[in-house]
A and B are shown apart, each in its own frame.
Chain A
Amino acid sequence: MKRVYVNEEWCLGCHLCEYNCAFANSGMKNMAMALKDQAIFPRIHVEGDDKITFAVSCRHCSDPICVKSCIAGAISKQNGVVKINREKCVGCLTCVLVCPYGALAPGKDGAMQKCELCLENACGSPACVAGCPNNAIVYEERGNEK
């Protein structure tokens, strides 16, 4: 299945992926209205220092430990995509404690959120990738797994 992969040597550290993510998941039609003067809670984040930067989002692991660790049964894997039912989440952060990639964080309301590849929002495919100016993140099929 297609996932988001990182080419860190191409990352400019511009953080556009974070803004595109927050906008894509805002459900709003106007980016300025959605993001201007707001604290944003993107599901991808840029890590790094003054030499190297890269974007981190859910790996949609083959054997996701967050799914097995969620005390609310709120995280599941459906058709290869690791999803969270935010209605069930109580914000205990156990998923944060177990995710080896640091890919989950709370949203504005305290319930956890994570990358679900924009498959169910208006974008239909990852907005972070579509908006990356330098192909530092790509959305493609890799490896042998179906």
Chain B
Amino acid sequence: MRRYVIIGNGTAAVGCVEGIRSVDKTGEITIISEENHAVYSRPLISYYLEGKTDLERMKYRGDSFYADNGCKVLFGKRAALLDAEKKQVVLDDQTTLPYDKVCVAAGSRPFVPPFEGLETVENKFSFMTLDDALALEKALNERSKVLIVGAGLIGLKCAEGICGRVKSITVCDLADRVLSSILDFDCAAVAQKHLEENGIRFLLGDTAVRFEGNRACMKSGKVEEFDVLVLAVGVRANTELVKNAGGEVNRGIAVNPKMETSLPDVFAAGDCTEGYDSSLGANRVLAILPNAYLQGQTAGGNMAGGNVAFENAIPMNSIGFFGFHIMSAGTYDGERIEERTEKAIKRFFVKDGFLKGFILLGETERAGIYTSLIREKTPLDTVNFDLMKKVASNLIYSQEKRRKKFGDVV
């Protein structure tokens, strides 16, 4: 009987379990979970603080998931060492777990720059895990003045989540715009305006350089007073286990489309990896939930002796703030083609006759039709591009293609 070890207990781990079980119903699966929680939907922590979900509904899988899949979960344990030669994982309590195949699904961790005086701040939080959210929740009240460092996806979702619970929220970022990883300058300005209309204040192109208790000294020389500090500067992939075992690591653990690392019988999946972005034609960290599941499932299938590859990964994000939706996908490379209405902006990036990426603000209906053009590398001369720019519709396809899509098993 094969012994599988999965390091991590998030979305990639679930994908891995389900991938293994699609091939091997009986092998022994051991999951190492640093957090003392059954798998939950991490991106929902801001919705939890907003009151749109609760701990029960945040469960990513049902209560019987581990039992149904024959998984042993070691809660509150950390993998300290991966020994790829002896084929074993050593835990922080020195327990040794031998494996036939291992999947590193260790995720990422908040990146905290070395701020001077950070130790003098009493109420400081990261915003990544459920425990982070629960700890932050305890510190907040209707008089709280919150300073969030980082105007990216994490910082802004945090702002939205706690907005109704606090007196004020200021978000600062060294970047000149909000959501700089997914939006260009003028799209970011639209998003920022919307957030400001909902009471969020911004200090952009400026960041905290020093803390003195409840005061943040900014790069610009300004001083910001706060009582709760949230650090959402960025994340770093947890690559150390593979790196220390001699495996190839860049910004994430290097994996091929089968999710194999450079080490034999060691697979990796999720936010800790750097996989192939088919819209870019190169590897990069794609720290998004769908990717984590798909990578995990691919790893699991191959660990169990199957032969599967995940070759059409692309970055994609759907994010909403106070009812205003933003979607983005792919790479912003090539000719920029824009459609604008009073309420919406659609930006498409076209290169060599293919859709490479898009940004949608305000109007997102059926956007998956656009995403599929990128993922499936559909030549744009086979679709009605003029119509496509205006509206995402299956009418853009030829009748023959539509017959396949809606007349066949897909």
Contact = CB atoms under 8 A, between A and B. Distances in A.
B318 A96 contact: yes
A47 to B, nearest CB: 5
A48 B397 CA distance: 11
A72 B371 contact: no
| The 10 residue pairs across chains A and B that have the minimum distance between CB atoms | A102-B366, A100-B372, A143-B409, A69-B290, A6-B406, A99-B368, A73-B60, A97-B318, A71-B43, A94-B318
Contacts of A65: 290
Contacts of A92: 43, 318-320
Secondary structure dominating the interface of A: loop
B406 A5 contact: yes
Interface of A: 3, 5-8, 47-49, 52, 54, 56, 59, 61-62, 65, 68-69, 71-73, 87-88, 90-102, 105, 142-145
Contact of B320 (A52, A69, A91): A91
B290 A94 contact: yes
A143 B407 CA distance: 10
Secondary structure dominating the interface of B: mixed
A96 B409 contact: no
Interface in B283-311: 289-290, 293-294, 297
A54 B368 contact: no
Given A97-B327, A97-B368, A8 B406 contact: yes
Given A47-B393, A47-B395, A98 B290 contact: yes
Interface in B326-377: 327, 329, 364-369, 371-372, 376
B41 A47 contact: no
B219 interface: no
Interface string B372-410: 100010000000000000001111000100110111111
B364 A97 contact: yes
A145 B409 contact: yes
Contacts of A97: 316-318, 327, 329, 364, 367-368, 371
Contact of A68 (B293, B325, B371): B293
Contact of B52 (A54, A59, A90, A101): A90
Given A100-B368, A143-B409, A69 B394 contact: no
Contact of B410 (A48, A62, A71, A105): A62
A97 B43 CA distance: 16
B87 interface: no
A101 B368 contact: yes
B409 A3 contact: yes
B57 A87 contact: yes
B15 interface: yes
Interface string B26-51: 00000000000000010110010000
A145 B325 CA distance: 37
